Amino acid sequence: MLLRYARSLLFLPASNARAIAKARTLPCDMVILDLEDAVADDAKEAARAGAVEALAQGFGGRIAAVRINVAGTPWHGVEMVTIKASAADYVVLPKVESARQVKDVFSVCQKPVIAMIESARGVLAAVEIAASEGCAGLFMGNNDLRKDLGIPAGAGREGLAVALQSVVLAARAADIAVFDGVFNRLDDPAALEAECAAGHALGFDGKTLIHPGQVLVANAIYGPNAQALADARRLIEAATGGAERFDGRMIETMHVEEARALVARAEAVGQ
């Protein structure tokens, strides 16, 4: 599956073998084995070994990635070397604020990098980061970004609006994938659905997640719905080239291309 088709991207502690096993039964499109925030310092080595073993076993066709620790930590170097030799499809790099960070990790890991934008500096450098060698996608790190921007706890996403749209623009300018940040509340599916819908409307390709119970909501919002898919197929069949009338509106080549992209996305995720 192309990275840009992923709807649900689930973070799992690489130290949690039970969660990793369960992920193989979930309808998520991507699994991210976390070596950073989700793993205590004294468990990093065991988590690294667990990630390598899990990657070797595979995830049943799901995209697999590993989030490593940043440069300057005791684990960064060995993690890069380990991931290079692993079966990971991508390496996720947190707290990215410059294109050089991405380039350095890519040069060692030789795996495409997904850069996490988690600070004001990261947002302002997003255009250069997205265009850097080896960068395959961007993740929003909304929790850290809120803290960096001084947004009060419990506030809505209004204060993130410019940052979210800026990162989407940077990704689109570089023609790479871009994904919204995690939703922290685990017992509020309606709010999760609303946040997914808002992110989808901004142009994000999918959503990063922290709990298996969030997968179906993300899949439903970010996957083409049945009516949109049926309309897209009818439009493709009806189009004859150039500007013409379809269902009471004018369509042209651009709309046919959008419809084909929607169908391709649906087919990629088995719809």
pTM score of the predicted model:
0.92
Topology given in CATH for the domain delimited by 3-222: TIM Barrel (3.20.20)
C-alpha count within 13 angstroms, C-beta hemisphere, residue 221? 26
Phi/psi of residue 73, nearest 5 degrees: -90, 160
Residues in the chain: 271
**pLDDT of the chain along its 271 residues, tens only?**
899 999 999 999 999 999 999 999 999 999 999 999 899 999 999 999 999 999 999 999 999 999 999 999 999 999 999 999 999 999 999 999 999 999 999 999 999 999 999 999 999 999 999 999 999 999 999 999 999 999 998 888 999 999 999 999 999 999 999 999 999 999 899 999 999 999 999 999 999 999 999 999 999 999 988 888 899 899 998 888 888 889 889 889 999 999 999 999 888 888 7
Residue ranges of the chain assigned to CATH 3.20.20.60 = 3-222
Q: Which two tokens stand for residue 250?
A: 């004018």
Q: HSE of 104 in the Cβ direction (CA atoms, 13 Å)? A: 12
Spatial separation of the C-alpha atoms in residues 114 and 147, rounded to whole Å: 22
